[in-house]
Amino acid sequence: MAVLDILEFPDSRLRIKATPIEKVDDSIRKLANDMLETMYQAPGIGLAATQVNVHKRIVVIDVSEDKSQPYVLINPEFKVLTDKLDHMQEGCLSVPGFYEDVTRPERIKLTALNLDGEQFTMECEGLLAVCVQHEIDHLNGKLFVDYISPLKRNRIKKKLEKQHRFQTA
């Protein structure tokens, strides 16, 4: 297993739309394991392949307290199950150090493939539903900062660009 580099906003590669995975094989299983290791080390609760510059539709998530319930979601999709909305403060490994309130549907029905290439569905609510939606946004080239005002987004962009300049100097 290996820890992968995580792209940071405003890197344009975060805007690339991921392509579906045709076949779940050992290379996809290795990618999933590397993504889990990267997410746990970061530390985070979700990571999309787009964030590690792999533009395939795969996401890893673990919202458990003790990091014992990892999900690997291949070609994930969801349907909204309720009109009720959740307002939750979100952060992102690709936007380190920033947290903003984002509004998303409270309950969703997730459909994805597992590491054996078998399709499964599950209903998600609360933090898991938010995390699934956040990570699928990444696969579609969208970031949580796209949900906030242009003024706030620009401020975050400028601060991260400044940090990147100092890190590479």
Select which of 65, 106, 135, 161 is catalytic. 135
Distance of CA 2 to the CA centre of its chain: 18
CA-based torsion, 23, 25, 30, 33: positive or negative:
positive
Distant-in-sequence, close-in-space partners of 109: CB < 8 Å, separation ≥ 6: 78, 79, 81, 121, 122, 123, 124
| Residue 138 annotated as part of some ligand binding site | yes
| Residue 134 annotated as part of some ligand binding site | yes
Query: Do the beta carbons of residue 73 and residue 110 sit within 8 Å?
Result: yes
Distance of CA 54 to the CA centre of its chain: 12
| Residue 164 annotated as part of some ligand binding site | no
In the 8-state DSSP scheme, what is residue 150?
H
d(CA 12, CA 14): 5
Query: Do the beta carbons of residue 16 and residue 139 sit within 8 Å?
Result: no
135 has catalytic annotation = yes
Annotated binding site for Fe cation: 92, 134, 138
- Which residues have a catalytic role annotated? 135
Annotated binding site: 92, 134, 138
